[in-house]
Amino acid sequence: MRIDVVIDMQGDPGKRYAVIDDFYDGLAYTLTTLAYDSASPLRTHPLGTPLGLPRNPLQQPDLASAERQEIVLQGGMMGGGKLAGVGGMMGMATPGMKGGAAWAINGMSMTGDGHAGMAPQFTLPRGATCHLTMRNETAWWHPMHIHGFSMLVLARNGSPVPYRQWQDTVLLAPRDTIECAFVADNPGDWMLHCHVADHQMAGLMTVFRVT
Ligand SMILES: [Cu+2]
């Protein structure tokens, strides 16, 4: 997911401040460092008015007449062992171990960069609202990324999310179920995949069609 931020820089002149990503326990690292020059600050207090970006509205999903689709993320260690050819998942960073795949969506592994002419997982008529449920059956985190659309996130594990925000990537914790919706107003074949490159290359990727 992308976030645009505006920072009022209020540190002390001449100092450096680390920006640390500590999302994963024990794997914190310095993402970047903010360094101030020694000149005196531009102003003593930050500007009072928050900066706003122009609105960029998207078509609202029509949930009453939505087409329901579900994708299930499978594979990885402790993935339930439902996948043929999956074993020794410690090596899952290697795509296509022994010719098999480490990950799958709805039982299907699309490995590498995919291939032309692959049958879409589902097809939506142009303009239809899709109510998409993404169910993570694995023991891993997956940032699921959609091409061509932004999804309105509705619920996580059966509970409505506090803000119905638009996202083109939704992070699924292990065993999470996410419900989201979008208007299929963009014709073509579109990818839906995990944004962890290793996972994507080893099967956590699918295609859907808007006609
Ligand atoms: Cu993943």
pLDDT per residue as tens digits for the range 151-178: 999 999 999 999 888 999 999 999 999 9
Q: Residue 117: its pLDDT value, please? A: 67
Residue 162 in domain: yes
Q: Are residues 95 and 39 in the same domain?
A: no
* Domain annotation covers residue 194: yes
Centroid of ligand 1 to alpha carbon of 26 (angstroms): 20
Query: Is 1 among the domain residues?
Result: no
Q: Is residue 55 part of a domain?
A: no
What is the average pLDDT score of the chain?
Answer: 86
For residue 59, being part of any structural domain is answered with no
CATH of the domain at 118: 2.60.40.420
Distance 187 CA to ligand 1 centre (A): 26
Tell me how far apart the alpha carbons of residues 82 and 86 are, in angstroms, rounded to a whole number.
8
Residue 175: predicted pLDDT: 96
Residue 85 lies in a domain: yes
CA of 44 to the centre of ligand 1 (A): 45
Residues with pLDDT less than 50, the chain: 78-99
Domain match, 139 and 82 both: yes
CA–centroid distance for 93 within its chain: 19
Enclosing H/E stretch for 146: strand 142-146
Task: For residues 40 and 79, state if they share a domain.
Answer: no
Residues 129 and 203 in one domain: yes
Is residue 2 one of the residues assigned to a domain? no
Q: Which domain holds residue 164?
A: 65-210
Ligand 1 centroid distance, CA of 183 (Å): 25
Q: What's the CA-to-centroid distance between 186 and ligand 1, angstroms?
A: 25
Question: Is the residue at 37 inside a domain?
Answer: yes
- Is 23 in the same domain as 92? no
Q: By C-alpha distance, which of 202, 204, 193 is closest to 88?
A: 202
Same domain? For 24 and 87 the reply is no
Whole-number Å distance, alpha carbon 85 to ligand 1 midpoint, is 19
8 A C-beta contact, residue 104 and residue 75: yes
Q: Are 109 and 44 in contact (CB under 8 A)?
A: no
Tens of pLDDT, residue by residue over 75-94, are 985 444 444 444 333 334 44
Same structural domain for residues 82 and 15?
A: no
Rounded Cα distance between 26 and 24, Å, is 6
pTM of the model: 0.73
Residue 140 CA to ligand 1 center (angstroms) comes to: 7
Q: Give the model's pLDDT for residue 87.
A: 38
The number of domains in the chain is: 2
